[in-house]
A = this chain, B = another copy of it.
Amino acid sequence: MPPGVITLLTDFGTADAFVGTMKGVILRINPDVRLVDLTHAVPPQQIMVGALALRSAVPFFPMGTIHVAIVDPGVGGPRQPILIETERGILVGPNNGVLSPAAEQMGRPFPRLLANAAFFRQPVSHTFHGRDIFAPAAAHLSRGSSPDAFGPPLESIVQLPLPQAAYTATSATGEVVYVDHFGNLITNISANALQRFSGRPLSVSMKGRLVAGPVPAYTAVPEDSPLAIVGSWGMLEIAVRNGSAAERFGVGTGTPVNVSVESRAHEQPGSGSDF
């Protein structure tokens, strides 16, 4: 049996030793587990950003991986600590929505309360449940403790209100939901959904301006030109080739994006940019 993998995603940053401290706690309980950082640069308290980054990563990890995600503005308050068993692995974190998109992605989520204090580091602080509750829970799970032992099942968990794209026979209307390091604007319009328009020329617009595409690769447009492309999340993205679309357009999450089947048959996909 491989030693198991625990991933960590937080808004703790890497300037302090908070993340390292969690790893120390984990290694005291399971010296053999593999630790992988997803990111610790989620902006403080931005649950949506953390939830989407987590969801993007979980499909690529080994079966049985334990994912700890902590973006936790309610730490120390009444929000519950939970684990969620899924088909692909186990999620651990606060019950505030940060886990819910990944849980759906991983299949057949079965949540439980983290109630058994025998799995906590004592004394439990009121400000750092990552160290005192979530890290030890993940470590014990990685050693084979049964999820049943941690607490009772929960009928439901807090669901993150992900903005949903709207689709018609000839259009898709969504919005930017995530801005990555390169300034790519990732939307909630999925490549799967775009297949309904298969074979027909599309035009993509944001803030009333057309962008080239969807193109098959960044290199389909000149350097520094904007484009729409299906990115690595399987979602439509607005990008600038070797540049930052976020900077170019001065936009962020929540910006509406529209895809529509072109009515003028003489116009080819990708030819409509006016930038």
Q: Which residues of A contact B (CB under 8 A)?
A: 2-3, 5, 7, 9, 12-21, 23-25, 27-28, 31-32, 34-41, 44-45, 53-54, 56-57, 60-62, 65, 73-78, 125-128, 131, 180-182, 216-219, 229-232, 237, 242
Contact = CB atoms under 8 A, between A and B. Distances in A.
Contact of A15 (B25, B32, B41): B41
A219 B76 contact: yes
Contact of A31 (B2, B38, B73, B180): B2
A32 B18 CA distance: 24
Contacts of A126: 216-218, 229-230
Contacts of A23: 36
A14 B41 CA distance: 7
Given A2-B31, A182-B44, A218-B76, A39 B24 contact: no
Nearest to A62: B28
A247 to B, nearest CB: 11
A77 B218 contact: yes
A231 B125 contact: yes
Contact of A65 (B9, B24, B57): B24
B218 A54 contact: no
A62 B24 contact: yes
B27 A62 contact: yes
A270 to B, nearest CB: 14
